[in-house]
C-alpha cells in the first residue's frame, strides 16, 4: 500500500512496515506546497496506528524527534500563512458592507451630538443629520450665513447665543470631521456598486447592488450565499423574528433584508409574502449563475417580472378577515384590520 | 502568594484570599490575550480565566485532566488560540496540533505559533480528518471545542484516526449549536448516548459535568475509547 505523509510517499507491506520511500526535498517552501496539495494519484492516508514520526526517522528524513518537531512546525506555519493570504473580491465586499454599517452608526451618534451642540447657538435651524452637518461645516456661526440663504431670516432673529472664537472653531471643525465620514460613506457605496457589478452581475440585476452586497456579507461570501436555499435567502436579516417563530408560536417572517427592494416595499401588504418568495427564488438562481458561470442572464429578470405580474393579477384585493373569534371579547383588536399581517416581522 | 499544582502543569494561585488558575509561561514576559502575569519565586505564571476557556472551567470542575508535560495533543477548534496557549504552556515537552477552519482566526493563531515552538497550526475542517492525516501523528489527548451540530461525530472520526489506544478525549458540547430550541439537558443526554453507541469508535464516558457558571449550556466530557 502506498501512503502519503507530509515528508514523502511511503510504501508499506501487509504488516504496515515501511519497505520503500520517496522523500520530498527538505525545503520548507516545497514541503509547505505539498502540505496544502497532498492529492496524488492512488495515494492513501496513513492507516490507523501508523507512526509517522518513527517512519520519518527510519527513512532518514530527520535525525531526531526535535528536528521532526521543528521542521514540521516551520512547514505548517508557512503553509497556513500561504493559505490565508488568498483574498477574493467578495471578501472586499463584506468588509465594505461592514464599514458602511459602522460609519452609519458613528455618523449618527456624532451628528446627534452636533445637533445638541449647535442648538445652543442656533436652535431655529430646523435641520438634522447630514444637511445639518454640511450646513455647520460650511458657515459655522450664524452671522456668516449670506443674505440669499433661505435660513438668513431665522439666523438674524435667532434666540441662540453668539458662536464666536474658539467655540466656533471647535464646532465647525467637529462638523467638518463628520462631513468626511459622509464622503467616505458615499465612496464606499460607489465601490460596492462597481465591485458587485463585476463579481455578481446577475445578483445586481435581480436584487440591486446594495441589497446584493448585504446578502453576500450576511452569508459570509458569494459561494456560501449560492449554497443557501431560497427559503433562507428570503429571511436572512430577520433572525430575531425567525427564532421567535421557531421557539414560540410567533408567525414566520416573510422577508429579511430583501424587504428593502422596492418591489416588495412598494407592494401592498397582502402581496408582500408572495413576492418575497418569488424574489428569493430568483435571487438564489442569480447567485448560482454568478458563482458557476459568471455571465449575465437577462431571462431571470424577465421571469421574475412575469411572476410578479401574475401575483399582482391573482391578488388584487386584500384577503377577507377570518372572523373566528366572534363574541370572544378582547381577542379582536384593532379596527377592521387583521392581526399580524403586513409589515416586517 | 503561593502556587499549588492541581494537575500536571496547571496551578492554583492563592493571592489575597482569592484563588486563580494559572500555567507557567512558556515565553516569559509575553502576555497572549491580555491575561495577567504573576511572578512567584522566580517563576512566571499566566492567569487562566475559566470564563474564557472551557478547559479551564473543566479544571475547576475537578475533571481529572489527562494532559501531561510531554503529551501530544490534537486540539480541534483552536480559534484564536486563547486556550491553545495554555495547553502549549502545559505540554512544555510535548506538541499541540491546532486545527482551525476559519481563515480569520487562523491569522491570530499563526501569530501565536510564531512565538511558541510547540504548536503546529493546521488550517482544515475537523470534519475531514483525512485532510490532515498526512501531518498529524497519534496523540495522547484530543481536545475538542468546535461548536458544530455534529460534534460527537467529529470526535469519533478524529479519535479513530489519531487517538492512541489508551488516549483520552476531552470534549466541550455546546447545546445551543446542536439544537437552538431543545432543552440543553436532553441534548447532552443524547450526545453522550451517541458517543457511547453510534459510531465506529465507541467511547466510555469517564466524567461529564455542566460548565456552569462559567459557560452557559455547555457540557464538559472526558472519555476514553472502549476496546472490545
Any CB–CB contact under 8 A between B206 and chain A?
no
pLDDT tens figures, A4-44: 899 998 998 888 888 889 999 999 999 998 888 766 556 78
DSSP string of A211-260, one letter each residue: HHHHHHHHHTSHHHHHHS-HHHHHHTT-HHHHHHHHHSSPPPPS-SGGGG
CATH assignment of A200-314? Answer: 1.10.246.90
With beta carbons under 8 A apart, name residues in chain B contacting A70: 117
A136-140, A189-193, A314-318, A332-336: which has the minimum mean pLDDT? Answer: A332-336
Q: What is the mean pLDDT of residues A171-176?
A: 95
If one compares A170 and A163, the residue with the highest pLDDT of the two is A170
CB-CB under 8 Å, B110 with A80:
yes
Any CB–CB contact under 8 A between B107 and chain A?
yes
**pLDDT, averaged across chain B:** 93
User: What does the pLDDT read at residue A41?
Assistant: 57
Any CB–CB contact under 8 A between B183 and chain A?
no
CB-CB under 8 Å, B113 with A77:
yes
pLDDT below 70 — which residues of chain B?
none
CB-CB under 8 Å, A73 with B110:
no
Helix spans in chain A (H) = 28-36, 52-58, 65-84, 89-119, 129-139, 152-156, 165-199, 201-207, 209-219, 222-227, 230-235, 239-247, 262-265, 269-292, 299-314
Architecture of the A90-193 domain: Orthogonal Bundle (1.10)
CB-CB under 8 Å, A73 with B119:
yes
pLDDT tens figures, B76-92: 999 989 999 999 999 99
pLDDT tens figures, A55-87: 999 999 999 999 999 999 999 999 999 888 766
Q: What are the beta bridge partners of residue B119?
A: B96
User: What does the pLDDT read at residue A40?
Assistant: 59
- Residue in A69, A77, A247 closest to B114 by CB: A77
Q: Scanning every residue of chain A, which has its alpha carbon at the shortest distance from the alpha carbon of B100?
A: A80
One CATH from 3.30.420.220, 3.40.50.12500, 3.90.1150.10, 3.40.50.300 for A2-86 = 3.30.420.220
Any CB–CB contact under 8 A between B228 and chain A?
no
For residue A154, what pLDDT band results from cuts at 50, 70 and 90?
confident
pLDDT tens figures, A281-314: 999 999 999 999 888 989 999 999 999 999 999 9
The ipTM is: 0.92
Q: Which of residues 117-156 of B touch A (CB under 8 A)?
A: 117-123, 130, 133-138
CB-CB under 8 Å, A83 with B133:
no
CB-CB under 8 Å, A84 with B122:
no
pLDDT tens figures, A86-127: 667 888 999 999 999 999 999 999 999 999 999 999 988 888
User: What does the pLDDT read at residue A42?
Assistant: 62
Q: SS3 letters for chain B? A: CEEEEEECCEEEEEECCEEEEEEECCCCCCCCCCCCEEEECCEEEEEECCCCCHHHHHHHCCCCCCCCCCCEEEEECCCCCHHHHHHHHHCCCCEEEEEECCHHHHHHHHHHHHHCCCEEEEECCCCCHHHCCCCCCCEEEEEECCCCCCHHHHHHHHHHHHEEEEEEEEEEEEHHHHCCCCCHHHHHHHHHHHHHHCCCCCEEEEEEEECCCCCCCEEEEEEEECCC
Q: Is the dihedral of CA B101, B103, B109, B110 positive or negative?
A: positive
CB-CB under 8 Å, A5 with B134:
yes
CB pairs under 8 A between A and B: 66
- Residue in A45, A77, A81 closest to B134 by CB: A45
Quickly tell me which residue has 435641520 as its cell: A127
Any CB–CB contact under 8 A between B200 and chain A?
no
Quote the CA–CA distance of B195 and B182 in Å, as a whole number: 19
For residue A128, what pLDDT band results from cuts at 50, 70 and 90?
confident
Quote the CA–CA distance of A146 and A194 in Å, as a whole number: 39
Beta strands B139-144; B119-123: pairing state:
unpaired
User: What does the pLDDT read at residue A155?
Assistant: 86
Q: What is the mean pLDDT of residues A192-217?
A: 93
CB-CB under 8 Å, A38 with B134:
yes
CB-CB under 8 Å, A52 with B117:
no
Domain assignments of chain A as residue spans, ordered by start: 2-86, 90-193, 200-314
Write the DSSP symbol of residue A293: T
CB-CB under 8 Å, B130 with A70:
no
User: What does the pLDDT read at residue A87?
Assistant: 67
Rg (CA), chain B: 17
Q: Which of residues 28-87 of A touch B (CB under 8 A)?
A: 35, 38, 45-46, 48-53, 69-70, 72-73, 76-77, 79-81, 83-84
pLDDT at A333 over 50: no
Quote the CA–CA distance of B45 and B31 in Å, as a whole number: 10
Q: What is the mean pLDDT of residues A264-271?
A: 90
CB-CB under 8 Å, B130 with A246:
no
Share of chain A above pLDDT 90, in %: 54
Amino acid at each position: 500500500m502506498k501512503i502519503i505523509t507530509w515528508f514523502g510517499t511511503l510504501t508499506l507491506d501487509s504488516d504496515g512496515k515501511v519497505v520503500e520511500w520517496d522523500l520530498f526535498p527538505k525545503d520548507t517552501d516545497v514541503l509547505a506546497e505539498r502540505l496544502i496539495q497532498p492529492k496524488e494519484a492512488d495515494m492513501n492516508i496513513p492507516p490507523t496506528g501508523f507512526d509517522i514520526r518513527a517512519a520519518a526517522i527510519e527513512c532518514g528524513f530527520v535525525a531526531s524527534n526535535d528536528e521532526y518537531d521543528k521542521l514540521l512546525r516551520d512547514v505548517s506555519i508557512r503553509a497556513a500563512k500561504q493559505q490565508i493570504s488568498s483574498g477574493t473580491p467578495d471578501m472586499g465586499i463584506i468588509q465594505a458592507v461592514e464599514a458602511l454599517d459602522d460609519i452609519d452608526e458613528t455618523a449618527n451618534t456624532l451628528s446627534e451630538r452636533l445637533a445638541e451642540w449647535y442648538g445652543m447657538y442656533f436652535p431655529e435651524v430646523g435641520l438634522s443629520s447630514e444637511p445639518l452637518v454640511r450646513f455647520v461645516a460650511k458657515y459655522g456661526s450664524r452671522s456668516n450665513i449670506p443674505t440669499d440663504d433661505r435660513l438668513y431670516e431665522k439666523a438674524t432673529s435667532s434666540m441662540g447665543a453668539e458662536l464666536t472664537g474658539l467655540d466656533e472653531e471647535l464646532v465647525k471643525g467637529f462638523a467638518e470631521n463628520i462631513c468626511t465620514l459622509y464622503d467616505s460613506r458615499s465612496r464606499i457605496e460607489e465601490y460596492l456598486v462597481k465591485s458587485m457589478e463585476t463579481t455578481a452581475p446577475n445578483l445586481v440585476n435581480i436584487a440591486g447592488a446594495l441589497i446584493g452586497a448585504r446578502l453576500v456579507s450576511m452569508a459570509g461570501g458569494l459561494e456560501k450565499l449560492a449554497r443557501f436555499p431560497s427559503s433562507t435567502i428570503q429571511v436572512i436579516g430577520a433572525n430575531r423574528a425567525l427564532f421567535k417563530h421557531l421557539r414560540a408560536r410567533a408567525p414566520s417572517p416573510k422577508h429579511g433584508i430583501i424587504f428593502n427592494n422596492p418591489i416588495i416595499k412598494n407592494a401592498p401588504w397582502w402581496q408582500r409574502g408572495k413576492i418575497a418568495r418569488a424574489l428569493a427564488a430568483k435571487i438564489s438562481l442569480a447567485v448560482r449563475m454568478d458563482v458557476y458561470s459568471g455571465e449575465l442572464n437577462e431571462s431571470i429578470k424577465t421571469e421574475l417580472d412575469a411572476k410578479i405580474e401574475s401575483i399582482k393579477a391573482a391578488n388584487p384585493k386584500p384577503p377577507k378577515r377570518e372572523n373566528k373569534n366572534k363574541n370572544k371579547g378582547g381577542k379582536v383588536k384593532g379596527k377592521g384590520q387583521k392581526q399580524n399581517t403586513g409589515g416586517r416581522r | 502568594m503561593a502556587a499549588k499544582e492541581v494537575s500536571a502543569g496547571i496551578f492554583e494561585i492563592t493571592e489575597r484570599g482569592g484563588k486563580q488558575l494559572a500555567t507557567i509561561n512558556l515565553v516569559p514576559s509575553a502576555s497572549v490575550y491580555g491575561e495577567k502575569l504573576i511572578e512567584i519565586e522566580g517563576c512566571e505564571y499566566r492567569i487562566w480565566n475559566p470564563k474564557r476557556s472551557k478547559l479551564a472551567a473543566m479544571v475547576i470542575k475537578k475533571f481529572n485532566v489527562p494532559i501531561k508535560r510531554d503529551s501530544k495533543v490534537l486540539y480541534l477548534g483552536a480559534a484564536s488560540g486563547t486556550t491553545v496557549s495554555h495547553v502549549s504552556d502545559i505540554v512544555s515537552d510535548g506538541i499541540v496540533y491546532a486545527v482551525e477552519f476559519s481563515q480569520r482566526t487562523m491569522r491570530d493563531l499563526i501569530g501565536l505559533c510564531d512565538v511558541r515552538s510547540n504548536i503546529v497550526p493546521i488550517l482544515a475542517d475537523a470534519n475531514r480528518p483525512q485532510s490532515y492525516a498526512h501531518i498529524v501523528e497519534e496523540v495522547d489527548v484530543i481536545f475538542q471545542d468546535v461548536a458544530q451540530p455534529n460534534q460527537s461525530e467529529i470526535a469519533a472520526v478524529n479519535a479513530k484516526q489519531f487517538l492512541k489506544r489508551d488516549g483520552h478525549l476531552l470534549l466541550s458540547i455546546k447545546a445551543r449549536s446542536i439544537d437552538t430550541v431543545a432543552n440543553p439537558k436532553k441534548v447532552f443526554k443524547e450526545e453522550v448516548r451517541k458517543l457511547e453507541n453510534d459510531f465506529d469508535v465507541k467511547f466510555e464516558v469517564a466524567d461529564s459535568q455542566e460548565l456552569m457558571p462559567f459557560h452557559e449550556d455547555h457540557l464538559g466530557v472526558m472519555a476514553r475509547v472502549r476496546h472490545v
